[in-house]
Amino acid sequence: MKYALITGAGRGIGRAVSLKLSSMGYHTLLNYVHNDLAAEECAKMISDSGGESTLLKFDVSNREQTEAALKNWSDANPGEYIEVLVNNAGIRKDNLMLWMEESEWQDVIGTNLNGMFYVTKPLLKSMLIKRAGRIINIVSLSGIKGLPGQTNYSAAKGGVIAATKALAQEVAKKGITVNAVAPGFIISDMTSGLDESMLKKQIPMERFGKPEEVASVVAFLASSEASYITGEVISVNGGLYT
C-alpha cells in the first residue's frame, strides 16, 4: 500500500488533490482541523470511487498536536511510511499592514509556514531511509508576486517557496523531490469573497481556475515521471503572472 498525506484535504484544492492521488492508487490520509462534514464527504467520495482513505484531524500550526497525530499513525502502521506529502493547509486573513492585528500575522504564518515545517520534518526520516519521497507544497501567486493587503500571506507563502528550494537541495541525492505549485485565482473557499467578475479581466484566460487543474499538476509531480524535477515552482494561474 502506498500512502499520501494531504493537509487541508476536506475542501477545494485539497479535496481535488486527494481524489486525484486516490485514483493513482494511493491510500490517502486526509488531514483537516475544523470541518468534520467536509472531510467525511471527501472520504466518502474516495470510497465511492473504489479508493481508501483515513481521516487525520489535527491542527498543522500546533507542533505537539501534529507530532502526536503522525506518531499515532506510524505506531498503528508499523513498517509503512508516507511516500507523498502535499502541504496544502492554508488560511488567509487579509488586511493592510497599517491595520493588521498581530493575531492576523501570527495565525497566517502559523498555518501556512510553520505548518509546513511541523508536518514535513517528522516524515523526512522515513523518506530518507527508503530513498524515495515526494513533497509538494501548495503556495500561491501571492508568494511570488506579492499582493497588497496580503503581507502576512505573501510572507508565509514566499517563505514556503524559499524553503522548498533549500530542502530540495538537502534531500535530492536520496531520491526525494521537493516542489511547489503556485495557484492563481482558483474557485474555492479561499477565493469565495473575491470579485470574480472584476478579477478575471486581469487573467489572460479570462476565468478562474478549477481545483482539478491544480490537482493534475500535483499528481504529475507525485509520479515517477517527475523524478528529475525538484526545487521548482510551477504556476497554475491562466497566464496572470508570467
Which residues carry out catalysis? 153
Non-local CB neighbours of 59 within 8 Å, separated by 6+ positions: 33, 65, 66
Kindly list the distances between the CA atom of residue 58 and the CA atoms of 8, 76, 226, 229, 230, in Å, as whole numbers in the listed order: 10, 17, 30, 30, 28
Amino acid identity for residue 47 in this structure: S
H-state helical runs in 77-173: 102-109, 115-130, 141-145, 151-171
| E strands present in 33-121 | 53-57, 82-87
Q: In which residue are the cell numbers 489535527 written?
A: 58
Q: How far apart are CA 21 and CA 162, in angstroms?
A: 25
Non-local CB neighbours of 139 within 8 Å, separated by 6+ positions: 157, 160, 161, 164, 180, 181, 182, 233
Q: How far apart are CA 123 and CA 105, in angstroms?
A: 27
Q: What is the DSSP letter of 34?
A: S
Best CA proximity match to 180, nearest among 242, 232, 109, 121: 232
